[in-house]
Amino acid sequence: MSMQEESSAALWQACLDVLAQEVPAQQLATWIRPLQLRPALQGLVLEVGNRFKLDWIRAQYLQRLIEVAEQLAGEPVPVELVIAARTPAASRSHAQLSATQPSVISPRKDATEPVVRPIPVPAVADTRSNARLDPRRTFATLVEGSANRMARAAAMHVANAPGQLYNPLFIYGGVGLGKTHLLQAVGHQLIDNHPGARVLYTHAEQFVSDVVKSYQRKAFDEFKARYHQLDLLLIDDVQFFAGKEKTQEEFFNAFEALLSRKSHIVMTSDTYPKGLANITARLVSRFDSGLTVAIEPPELEMRVAILLRKAQAEGHDLPEDVAFFVAKNVRANVRELEGALQNILAYSRFSGRAIDIGLVRDALRDLLSIKNRQISVENIQKTVADFYKIKVADMHSKKRPANIAKPRQIAMYLAKELTQKSLPEIGEMFGGRDHTTVLHAVRKILAERASDPDLNQHLHVLEQTLRG
């Protein structure tokens, strides 16, 4: 090893040591530690496994990498991300796949060589029907925003390259955020690419029912034929396995059978794997062994885009001011947005009135009054204080210990997200603080939420509690 290579290796190790103090362990293990240092004449050249990872690391971590490297070296250090070169074996496999379509890829026997497994090709319509896929839930109809961008990118990667990475893919988030839509979109995309793919979408409760029936009828071969021979299993709301020991045992067996076949598994839940209650440790370990991504509540612009697209699909042109008004007042999830839109369209149709903000106020009168009554800054302060076991008075005080300052910042963030109060108004309700203090708290919590799974989970719980 040359002196330059030794110097680069030492610098990279020092960077890892610094980042380990800043980045949560799970994020560090997923994105930073897998980077491989490539010999270079100057700077740090880091190899990334694929385009998806490269784009994500560049967006989330590259600037901080550059800053840390410069601080440690005492001078500017070029930091470059490159995609690791594919092996000739991998290239041949890819060419072989193209030549044999339609067929289904089994995931890789090893890190580089996928297996091509020809299968009978039924009619695509039959395939989708047997897979239990809703034709409306595709990637084309999914509105993308910062709230679901990473989850969508990972799901798209799985659909286009099944079995190669992120197996299993575990998607979590609150109710009505689009987890099921994304889950089924993977199935549609895989069938588009490989019409003979054996795909099945099922809800966890249906899986429980199938397990019960197989025990009652002693139809274990039928059960295995349904769940152990798939190319892609899409299973929704795995938190419903909680406390059901036989179901967990059978799902573990199905999980292992599918992985041994090099098939792909995509799951959804209302919380991240280690947050699941009454699920066996070995199953949680399997859930956590691939890639875990979150779907957040949609931001304002995304909510507006969803409303406009849904209205267009219904044959209506929704005025933008109306879309913004609804999006500002309906914040919980996509499902609630869709329900509000249906109420508005129905009210317009039955009353014969054009859709404007006045009609929306009438159509959503009950919903708006409930929202205004339930979510107030005072309610947020009390809920957060109870959650973190501090006094409500601490929200107004000038005390700044970490056990008080952090919950106070969280409460400010939730007040901005869940109420119509301005920054100065929020600051006034937190002991007369300046609006810049509130803005700092909002930005800080928003940034930490993206990188800290525990904080993200706490916020999910608080939001669900406040929204009833």
pLDDT band for 130, please (50, 70, 90 cuts): low
The whole-number pLDDT of residue 113 equals: 38
Residue at which a domain ends, from 373, 403, 438: 373
What is the extent of the structural domain holding 405?
Answer: 375-467
What integer best gives the mean pLDDT of the chain?
81
**Residue 116 belongs to some domain of the structure:** no
Tokens of 16: 């890892």
- 324 shares a domain with 258: no
List pLDDT tens digits, range 346-401: 988 888 898 988 898 888 887 776 555 557 888 899 899 988 989 888 898 887 88
The predicted-structure confidence for 404-439, as pLDDT tens digits, reads as follows 999 999 999 999 888 777 888 899 899 889 888 898
User: What string of DSSP letters covers 2-33?
Assistant: -HHHHHHHHHHHHHHHHHHTTS-HHHIIIIIT
Residue 110 lies in a domain: no
- Please report the pLDDT score of residue 369 as a whole number: 63
306, pLDDT greater than 60: yes
The larger pLDDT score, comparing residue 378 to residue 53, is at 378
Sign of CA dihedral 85, 88, 90, 91: positive
Cα separation, 249 vs 227, whole angstroms: 13
CATH number for the domain that contains residue 223: 3.40.50.300
Q: Do 204 and 279 meet the contact criterion of CB atoms below 8 Å apart?
A: no
Residue 267: strand pairing partners: 170, 235
Same domain, 334 and 447: no
Of residues 94 and 213, more confidently modeled:
213
417 and 391, same structural domain?
A: yes
**Residue ending a domain, choose from 83, 117, 145:** 83
pTM comes to 0.55
Collapsing DSSP to helix, strand or coil, 352 comes out as coil
Compute the distance between CA of residue 227 and CA of residue 198 in angstroms, rounded to an integer: 10
> Which residue carries 């809920």 as its tokens?
383
What is the tens place of the pLDDT at every residue in 231-244? 999 999 999 999 99
Asked, for residue 89, whether it belongs to a domain, the answer is no
Structural domain contains residue 435: yes
Pairing of strands 44-48, 36-38: antiparallel
Flag whether pLDDT at 172 surpasses 50: yes
